[in-house]
Structure 1
Amino acid sequence: MGLSHEKHFQVSAGLLATADARGHFHDLNPAWERILGWSLDELRGKPFIEFVHPDDREATLAATAELLQGHTHARFDNRYRCKDGSYRWLGWAASVDMDEAPEERLIYATAMDVTSDRERADELTRVTHLATVYEKLFQVSVGLLVTLDANGYFRHANPAWRQTLGWSPEEMTAKPFIEFVHPDDREATLAEATALFQGRTTIRFDNRYACKDGSYKWLAWTAHMDASEEPSRRLVYGTAHDVTSYKEVHGELERTLARLRDSMQAMSTPLIPITDRIVVMPLVGQMDSDRIGQVMSVALDGVQSTQVQIVILDVTGLKEIDTRVASALVDTAKALQLLGARTILTGIRPAVAQTLVGLGLDLAGILTKSTLQSAITFALQSGQIPANVRPL
């Protein structure tokens, strides 16, 4: 080797090598030690195939055999093990001088570290594969998928929109998305979209979207905005599904429950007529603020709309009578008295009597009887309303 070639051999950034037909390195330049970490003597000390990744050995041996038969490889890649146990991808170009005697023939090879290129290629392949997978999922998904830009337009819409609302993806992206939203839901929807573009990362909400036939369907949304993207490139990624049937069933259930509550409330404070001038109002269960107000309302409306003169409030069935309930009963009796009706309170237990006395309530105009039967008997035997009660 001439002096000039020797200097190039020593300073070359590429890996230079010669190897014999038995598979051992002969000449190696210093770049090997810098890139793989092995000393040159360590690399010469055993067959080069032992440094090759197990998965690449068969192809490497095949390429070596072809070289020794006179074929030239313009590019061949394999992985070589570094001294730290990792692997580097090497890109090879090699040839054999077939004019030399067979026993003296050497492989003349040069290689470059192409690890970063292979990693980028592998990553590109992986990303491309994922993009293909996601594109297929986007096309076949039964869920409604969209991306939304800051100008209020859908950038992408999958085919499921046509099946659900009748609009094609092209129609969904042709005008501002808010035009598809029910007028009553637009303000809330715009507020949610604005919150996303202002930094809120994920939202969940329901709204109504117009179908192509003029009807509306309820959609349940989950939407996300990746705040790490450049502001000018940020998109909202949204998925929705049709919950119209659920909303309709839920709405009907709510209406049914409301009717049932109204019926139960009416049943919980009934006015039971004994005669045209005597009614009984049995109070049962637990009294809360709503029921207290209802008791007074039912009693007053009943007296005002009829000729009732005696109202028997039977509290036998109440689970508990606290100071609040006791005060409300007395207030009801006084209000009835103003309408010209007398109140008989029945079913008072000793503890309740103590509560009434302890409150110092004015019980004038209120009769008490120990049982409902005695109260009804008293009312029936009363030929008239006691003198101290004057009908209005």
Structure 2
Amino acid sequence: MSPGGTHRLNRSPAALEARIAELEAQLAALQQQSDVSHEKQHLLEALFEHAVDILFIANFDSTLRYVNGAFKRMLGYGDASIKRPTWSYIVEAEQSNRLKEAIEHVMNNGFWVGRLTYVRADGSTFPGLLSTFLIYDQAGKPLARGGFIRDLTEQEQHERELQTQQAQQAQLQAEIISAQRKALHELASPLIPLAERVLVMPLIGSLDSHRTQQIIATLLEGVSVHQAKTVIIDITGVPVVDTQVAHTLLQATQALKLLGAHVMLTGIRPEVAQTVVGLGVDLSGIQTLGNLQQAIAASLR
């Protein structure tokens, strides 16, 4: 121990060499960390620059701090892009106000996602999906506002094409349903040409107000087209004959008489005759026969 009680530093060659090796190892480690950091930064920059979507970082006064290559390519402003505030790329004052509301929402909630219409340097526009968010420093304080802008032109075109296809499909489906209804109507109320100027309509199933109107319309059209003089209406397949059905038959008879056609009614079962009499419906103006065979024979005579 030296005078004064302090330890003498070990300055032997071996100790110095060990210390130098330790410092060199620390320097190599720091250099490696720096190389890795630079490599990561280079990869991120390459990723951002070649991204299809626009990437940007904006200050809180809406001036831009960073824009990637897609920003310049998509908007067409070149290096001047970064000199313009973010709101200057939005179409119309209404959308500018919406962007301001979006920025306010970001400041309060940390993020915002929505559609805006952007304007390029040549005056053309495109729909864009803006996703913007807060960027924080290491202390957790808001540092800037980042964002992505995706060009929705192709997506909206696809949506329009899909809507057109859906509309066409809906129209085609409506036409198919209409054709099916028409076919069912013709099957439910068939009008059969029996002989020259003789038509037969066998009715099957229940008759409601809509179907009765269709029956009358079919009869009138058929008489007019075929210039028929005799129309045979067979109600054997009608399960229930009530006041509405009876009045329908009367209306049809009166309408056909106006066109010069004679009406024969067949298929009146005993219980149907009782019901008609009980209802007090007067069918005296209609010629009635027991069955369809008798009516056909009469019409042919």
Give TM-score, length-normalised by structure 2. 0.51
Q: 2:101 corresponds to which letter in structure 1?
A: A
**Residue in 1 that maps onto 2:69:** 159
Aligned in 2, Cα 1:381/1:161: closer, same or farther, shift over 3 Å? Answer: same
- Tell me, yes or no, if the aligned pair for 1:146 and 1:154 is still in contact at 8 Å: yes
**Residue in 1 that maps onto 2:101:** 191
- Tell me, yes or no, if the aligned pair for 2:134 and 2:142 is still in contact at 8 Å: no
Q: 1:162 corresponds to which letter in structure 2?
A: K
Aligned in 2, Cα 1:173/1:206: closer, same or farther, shift over 3 Å? Answer: same
Deviation at 1:147, TM superposition (A): 0.9
Indicate yes or no: 2:88 matched with 1:179. Answer: yes
Deviation at 1:145, TM superposition (A): 1.2
Deviation at 1:244, TM superposition (A): 1.1
**Residue in 2 that maps onto 1:145:** 55
Report which structure shows greater RCO (CA 8 Å, sep ≥6).
2
**Residue in 2 that maps onto 1:50:** none
Q: Number of matched residues?
A: 216
| Unmatched 5+ stretches in structure 2 | 189-203, 216-240, 257-280, 283-301
Percent pairwise identity: 12
Deviation at 1:224, TM superposition (A): 3.1
Indicate yes or no: 2:40 matched with 1:130. Answer: yes
- Tell me, yes or no, if the aligned pair for 1:220 and 1:242 is still in contact at 8 Å: yes
- Tell me, yes or no, if the aligned pair for 1:147 and 1:237 is still in contact at 8 Å: yes
Q: 2:150 corresponds to which letter in structure 1?
A: H
Q: 1:18 corresponds to which letter in structure 2?
A: S
Aligned mates of 2:84, 2:63 — CA distance in 1:
6
- SS of residue paired to 2:158: helix
Aligned mates of 1:261, 1:144 — CA distance in 2:
38
Aligned in 2, Cα 1:134/1:282: closer, same or farther, shift over 3 Å? Answer: farther
Deviation at 1:265, TM superposition (A): 3.1
Aligned mates of 1:224, 1:282 — CA distance in 2:
65
Indicate which of 156, 166, 179 corresponds to 1:257.
166
**Residue in 2 that maps onto 1:356:** none
Deviation at 1:146, TM superposition (A): 0.6
**Residue in 2 that maps onto 1:97:** none
Aligned mates of 2:48, 2:182 — CA distance in 1:
69
Aligned mates of 2:251, 2:73 — CA distance in 1:
72
- SS of residue paired to 1:141: coil
- SS of residue paired to 1:252: helix
Deviation at 1:254, TM superposition (A): 0.9
Aligned mates of 1:228, 1:367 — CA distance in 2:
85
- SS of residue paired to 1:3: coil
Deviation at 1:199, TM superposition (A): 2.4
RMSD: 5.0
Aligned in 2, Cα 1:227/1:135: closer, same or farther, shift over 3 Å? Answer: closer
- Tell me, yes or no, if the aligned pair for 2:136 and 2:142 is still in contact at 8 Å: no
**Residue in 2 that maps onto 1:214:** 123
**Structure with higher helix content:** 2
| Unmatched 5+ stretches in structure 1 | 26-59, 65-74, 79-90, 93-113, 284-313, 317-328, 345-362, 369-374
- SS of residue paired to 2:40: helix
